[in-house]
Structure 1
Amino acid sequence: MKEFVVYTVMRILLFLGSLAVITGIWALLNDGRVHLLFSVVLAFLVSGIASYFLLSGPREAFARRVEDRASRASAAFEERKAREDAD
């Protein structure tokens, strides 16, 4: 669960940082006028691409954790199934 929280918080911070930078640049280029919808869409694109490269470590840790839990659950299910068949 910790890996999920870490990845999610980092992803949100990356989006907010991208939004701040893009909004700031947009305001500088357009005499202080900001089109918020375009800024948000562009920030989603930039943060999505950046997270692919920058957050690969936390994403892999989260994926490993999910895979481990799924393997344990599958093994427990198979064990219960084998005991049921033996009876």
Structure 2
Amino acid sequence: MKEFAVYTGLRIVLFLASLGVVSGIWLLVAGEANLLGVFVIAFVLSGIGSFYLLNAPREALAQRVDARARRAGERFEERRSREDVD
């Protein structure tokens, strides 16, 4: 659960930082900001940035999810084998 919270928090921070940078640049260049355009550009930039910058937290989350899935699969197989014996 910790890995999920860390990764999600970092994604939110990265999006908010991208939103601030994009809106600041847009305001400097155009004088007023188109909110939809700012959100779309910030969303795309944060997505690309998270692919490179958040690789380690994403890997930790993926390993945690994989370990939980393997344990659940093992428990399922164990229960199924016990039913076959009965």
Q: What's the TM-score bracket when you normalise by the shorter of the two chains?
A: over 0.9
Aligned alpha-carbon RMSD (Å): 0.7
1:61-72 correspondence to structure 2 within 5 Å: 61-72=60-71
Q: Is residue 54 from structure 1 mapped to residue 40 from structure 2 by the alignment?
A: no
The 3-state SS of whatever aligns with 2:33 is coil
Is there any run of 5+ residues in structure 1 with no aligned partner, and where?
Answer: none
Distance between the aligned counterparts of 1:78 and 1:34, measured in 2?
A: 56
1:26-45 correspondence to structure 2 within 5 Å: 26-31=26-31, 33-45=32-44
**Structure 1 match to 2:9:** 9
- Off by >2 Å, runs of 4+ in structure 1: none
Is there any run of 5+ residues in structure 2 with no aligned partner, and where?
Answer: none
| TM-score normalised by length of structure 1 | 0.95
Give identity over the alignment, percent.
Answer: 57
CA offsets 1:50-86 (integer angstroms, 9 cap, x no match)? 0000011111110100100010010011111111111
Shift, 1:38, TM fit: 0.5
Distance between the aligned counterparts of 2:74 and 2:30, measured in 1?
A: 60
